[in-house]
Structure 1
Amino acid sequence: MAIHKKAVSVAIGAAALASAAVLAPTQAMAQGYPTRPVTMIVPFAAGGPTDVVARSLAEAMRKSLGQTVVVENVGGAGGTIGTARVAKAPNDGYTVLLMHIGFSTAPALYRKLSYDQAHDFQPVGLTVDVPMTLIARENFPAANIKEFLTYVKANAGKLSMANAGIGSASHLCGLMFMSTIGSEFQTIPYKGTAPAMNDLLGKQVDFMCDQTTNTTGQIKAGKVKAYAVTSKTRVPSLPDLPTLDESGLKDFSVGIWHGLWAPKGTSPEIVAKLQASLQAGLDDPAFKQRMTELGAIVLNDKATPAALDTLVKSETAKWGAVIKKAGVYAD
């Protein structure tokens, strides 16, 4: 019996040593992290609203990480191609994903995804919430939001509404708008926000709903007509625009939140460093000033894995119901 106990003890000791040998390089890597640039994947085209947030955040995070944060645009399929890239990336902390609300809507919009939204990612934290604006071509006949709502309801079948593609923020806002007012329009999907905005500026389409990070400059330059914002309260950078809620569409609220993820299996130590850098970036005065100018709300009190995980679960359920009701799917 004594020999048996000794054998068991030796076996346990050997297993512990083996486990320590496996963990030691991982812990050492985490302690030294980062030793090279970190790539932030943005699953949309350069110059779009999410890209604007990412580039400002990357610079702010660089200061605390001590390494460059390189923004790489991997667009296509409503953000799912770039998202899949991160799901399959090494979980060493050198590839992260900056994605918006589309992270929660993709499971309902796409019949087949090459990643598992619920299991392939490690949340790091929320970053910003961006209100949407309801804008139209510069020569649209309505002078204010009251006239706009009256006009679009009376001419629903004749008007065109642009969006940046299925699953984009502008597409989701448009779905919510059509559902709320009980009308349908000709929806024109584009391969990104830039071409959609170009056609709106060229008066090729009638109106669209898009993030303040993409529309504020055009609104202030008078190149488009702006009617309302989708947030619960007015946006400080666009104080003259009423909310849709105060304009008669009660409880209409669409905010395009953005979050930061790492691949599943990223060590807790590296996630903690990323989260600390994210927090420092959101608190950076230059970043906060830039986001304020663009109408974005910095979520520095929600820059945690738990806050992002909780929001993703609730938003997946909420938008899943909206998308199912609208009967919109992508292959």
Structure 2
Amino acid sequence: MKTLLKLGTVAAAVAFSLGAQAAEEFPAKDKTITIVVPFAAGGPTDRVARDLAEALRKPLGATVVVDNTAGAGSSIGAARVARAAPDGYTILLNHIAMSTMPALYRKLAFSVPNDFEYLGMINDVPMTLIGRPTLPANNYKELVTWINQNKGKINLGNAGLGAASHLCGLMFQSALQVDMTAVPYKGTAPAITDLIGGQIDLLCDQTTNTTPQIEGKKVKAFAVTTPKRLTTPALKDLPTLAESGLKDFNVSIWHGLYAPKGTPAAVVTKINEALKVALKDPEFIKKQEGLGAVVITDKRVEPAEHKKFVQAEIDKWGAVIKAAGQYAD
């Protein structure tokens, strides 16, 4: 027994020594840190990643690049990082999909709670409920009346199964206890085009996509999905869904950073410390505000709190998706 205890102590000491050495050497001068974005280049998540990569270079003292690995609602890119060497040089930047994949996909090549080290949250992106310009309703109260008068006839667009707009739409229908016809598109752009053209009635999507259309009066805006009203000039007069009667309605698209499971704790700490510095970078904050995003300043920037938050989101969205019976396979 004493021999086993001694061996266990030696193993723990070796592991600690290797972790400390990895942290001391991380990041190596001749190595590049790759942020994997599980979506195509040019989209909102890609923009967040590129802004963050730039803000991380100085505190990390390393080259940080973005690599897009799109497909299957972000699960292909996430799987790539889950399989990567746990050394801190390949990390994942993903959004709310981290909390919806466990329910949307019956078979995943990884476990969101168990196959990643959580590095910290980055931002929150509010969402807006918008309608076609010819919709009879001009405010949220009138919209609810119109919805109740047209049950079974309403087309609710989304950017694809598992997209932010799909999730917001599910939550909105659940809150109102009204079924609408889901019309999926291959991205937000064609969905908004059809909304403007009157082919669909409603869309709930993030401010990064809807604000220009609201400013240009190409769509009708009814509400925001966050607990508090927004300060963006074009959106500041919009009520929240919570204050409009949908108690506790709160949907935002958040982004976080993840490393493969087994990445040394000291390396996780180094990346997290660099992230905290990046999130205070004035230029990064300015760019995020330009996207309608709010940079995280609360405890969710800590790895443990980030993981706790994601688990709560998994529970929330799992219930919504299960009730709707909408799966990716």
Partner residue in 1 for 2:128: 133
How far did 1:139 drift? 3.2
Partner letter of residue 290 of structure 1? K
Partner letter of residue 292 of structure 1? E
Tell me how far apart the structure 2 counterparts of residues 63 and 224 of structure 1 sit (CA, whole Å): 41
- Can you list the C-alpha shifts for 1:43-100, whole angstroms capped at 9, x where unaligned? 2233333223222222222232223322222222222111111111111111111112
Partner letter of residue 287 of structure 1? F
Tell me how far apart the structure 2 counterparts of residues 45 and 204 of structure 1 sit (CA, whole Å): 26
Structure 1 contact 50–99 (Cα < 8 Å) conserved: yes
RMSD: 2.4
Partner residue in 1 for 2:252: 255
- Are residues 1:284 and 2:281 paired? yes
Deviates more, 1:155-164 or 1:88-97: 155-164
Tell me how far apart the structure 2 counterparts of residues 144 and 296 of structure 1 sit (CA, whole Å): 24
Partner residue in 1 for 2:106: 111
Structure 1 contact 45–73 (Cα < 8 Å) conserved: yes
Largest Rg, 1 or 2: 1
Counterpart selection for 2:322 from 309, 321, 324: 324
Tell me how far apart the structure 2 counterparts of residues 201 and 273 of structure 1 sit (CA, whole Å): 46
Q: For residues 152 and 280 of structure 1, do their structure 2 counterparts lie closer, same or farther at Cα, with a shift above 3 Å needed?
A: same
How far did 1:176 drift? 0.5
Q: For residues 253 and 62 of structure 1, do their structure 2 counterparts lie closer, same or farther at Cα, with a shift above 3 Å needed?
A: same
Structure 2 contact 22–264 (Cα < 8 Å) conserved: no
- Can you list the C-alpha shifts for 1:157-191, whole angstroms capped at 9, x where unaligned? 22221112212211111001011112112211223
Partner letter of residue 57 of structure 1? L
Deviates more, 1:84-93 or 1:22-31: 22-31
Partner residue in 1 for 2:51: 56
Tell me how far apart the structure 1 counterparts of residues 61 and 220 of structure 2 sit (CA, whole Å): 43
Deviates more, 1:273-282 or 1:76-85: 76-85
Partner letter of residue 117 of structure 2? Q
How far did 1:28 drift? 4.0
Structure 1 contact 43–74 (Cα < 8 Å) conserved: yes
Counterpart selection for 1:309 from 293, 307, 311: 307
* Superposition pairs of residues 84-95 of structure 1, within 5 angstroms: 84-95=79-90
- Can you list the C-alpha shifts for 1:242-270, whole angstroms capped at 9, x where unaligned? 10112222222112222111010111121
Counterpart selection for 1:178 from 173, 176, 182: 173
Instruction: Work out the percentage of aligned pairs sharing the same amino acid.
Output: 55
Tell me how far apart the structure 2 counterparts of residues 69 and 309 of structure 1 sit (CA, whole Å): 24
Deviates more, 1:251-260 or 1:226-235: 251-260
Tell me how far apart the structure 2 counterparts of residues 185 and 69 of structure 1 sit (CA, whole Å): 44
User: Normalised by the size of structure 2, how large is the TM-score?
Assistant: 0.89
User: Normalised by the size of structure 1, how large is the TM-score?
Assistant: 0.88
- Are residues 1:231 and 2:229 paired? no
Partner letter of residue 305 of structure 2? A
Q: For residues 205 and 52 of structure 1, do their structure 2 counterparts lie closer, same or farther at Cα, with a shift above 3 Å needed?
A: farther
Counterpart selection for 1:151 from 135, 146, 153: 146
Tell me how far apart the structure 2 counterparts of residues 43 and 31 of structure 1 sit (CA, whole Å): 30
* Superposition pairs of residues 213-224 of structure 1, within 5 angstroms: 213-224=208-219
Q: For residues 300 and 69 of structure 1, do their structure 2 counterparts lie closer, same or farther at Cα, with a shift above 3 Å needed?
A: farther
Tell me how far apart the structure 2 counterparts of residues 150 and 95 of structure 1 sit (CA, whole Å): 50
Tell me how far apart the structure 1 counterparts of residues 208 and 66 of structure 2 sit (CA, whole Å): 17
Q: Secondary structure at the match of 2:308?
A: helix
Partner residue in 1 for 2:32: 37
